[in-house]
């Protein structure tokens, strides 16, 4: 077993939800009166907590408009016609392989809210796949390492027995700040060059490659 604990980011790593996030944020920005947001700028903030994402996208936004944008984003992401979401091909089979190993622990560390993660757990039937999870609204947002620290304590795992897997520099820098091994995946939002700056332990170019490496 390479690691006792594998911690996964959600959006852009396990689930192909990028298009829905971008479209929902763009519609919400227009409806809140902030105006048009560039799609690439929205892609860049995926992985951050929603308040941090809005502050980055809309510098100087007042609290009332930020709250409206937040509520409209939540509405469109949950109920709007802004694109389908599904696990990347091979993710479900790869997680099943890991779950079949004795002593293997799986967790999620995400920029989603607890309500949002619980919703997608329920919709995808994946709640029981993971031993623990942390969301940005119940601890510090990435790239602060607190959610990783809390997961290690909850699951009684040492730092060198764990790995963080993600598609953004926020995921990798969170792990790097803690001195934890980290794996970059190339199919998400940040470019391989940007991910490489965080000196990942391994970079996976395809889903099967990631799970083969974790399974060794």
Indicate if the pLDDT at residue 80 is higher than 80: no
* Residue 92: pLDDT band with limits 50, 70, 90: very high
* Cα 66 from Cα 114, distance rounded (Å): 19
Between 77 and 148, the higher pLDDT residue: 148
Q: pLDDT (tens digit, 9 = 90+) per residue, 124-171?
A: 999 999 999 999 999 999 999 999 999 999 999 999 999 999 999 999
25 within 8 A of 71, measured Cβ to Cβ: no
Please tell me if the domain spanning 5-16+86-215 has the same topology as the one spanning 18-79: no
Q: pTM of the full predicted structure?
A: 0.93
What is the C-alpha separation between 23 and 109, in angstroms, rounded?
23
User: Does the domain at residues 5-16+86-215 carry the CATH identifier 3.40.50.1000?
Assistant: yes
Domain boundaries, the chain: 5-16+86-215, 18-79
Q: What is the pLDDT, as a whole number, of residue 111?
A: 94
Q: pLDDT, tens digit, for every residue of 93-125?
A: 999 999 999 899 999 999 999 999 999 999 899
Write down the pLDDT at residue 81: 64
Strands of 89-212, DSSP E: 105-110, 132-135, 162-166, 181-185, 202-204
Alpha-carbon distances, residue 209 vs 69, 111, 114, 166, 204 (angstroms): 38, 25, 30, 14, 6
Burial of 196 (0-12, 13-18, 19+ CB in 10 A): middle
Task: Mention the CATH class of domain 18-79.
Answer: mainly alpha
Residue 85 has pLDDT above 90, yes or no: no
| pLDDT higher than threshold 70 for residue 82 | no
């Amino acid at each position: 077993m390479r690691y006792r604990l594998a911690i996964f980011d959600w959006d852009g790593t396990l689930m192909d939800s990028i298009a829905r996030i971008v479209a929902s944020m763009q519609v919400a920005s227009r409806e809140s009166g902030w105006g048009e947001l560039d799609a690439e700028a929205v892609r860049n903030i995926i992985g951050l907590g929603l308040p941090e994402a809005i502050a980055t996208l809309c510098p100087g936004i007042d609290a009332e408009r930020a709250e409206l944008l937040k509520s409209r984003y939540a509405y469109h992401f949950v109920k709007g016609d802004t694109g389908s979401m599904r696990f990347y091909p091979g993710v479900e089979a790869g997680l099943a392989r890991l779950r079949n190993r004795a002593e293997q622990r799986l967790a999620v560390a995400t920029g989603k809210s607890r309500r949002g993660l619980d919703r997608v757990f329920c919709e995808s039937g994946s709640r029981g796949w993971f031993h623990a999870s942390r969301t940005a609204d119940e601890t510090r947002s990435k790239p602060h390492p607190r959610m990783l620290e809390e997961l290690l304590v909850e699951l009684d795992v040492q730092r060198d027995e764990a790995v963080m897997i993600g598609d953004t520099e926020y995921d990798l820098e969170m792990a790097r700040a803690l001195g934890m091994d980290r794996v970059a995946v190339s199919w998400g939002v940040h470019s391989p060059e940007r991910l490489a700056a965080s000196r990942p332990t391994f970079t996976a170019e395809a889903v099967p490659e990631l799970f083969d490496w974790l399974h060794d």
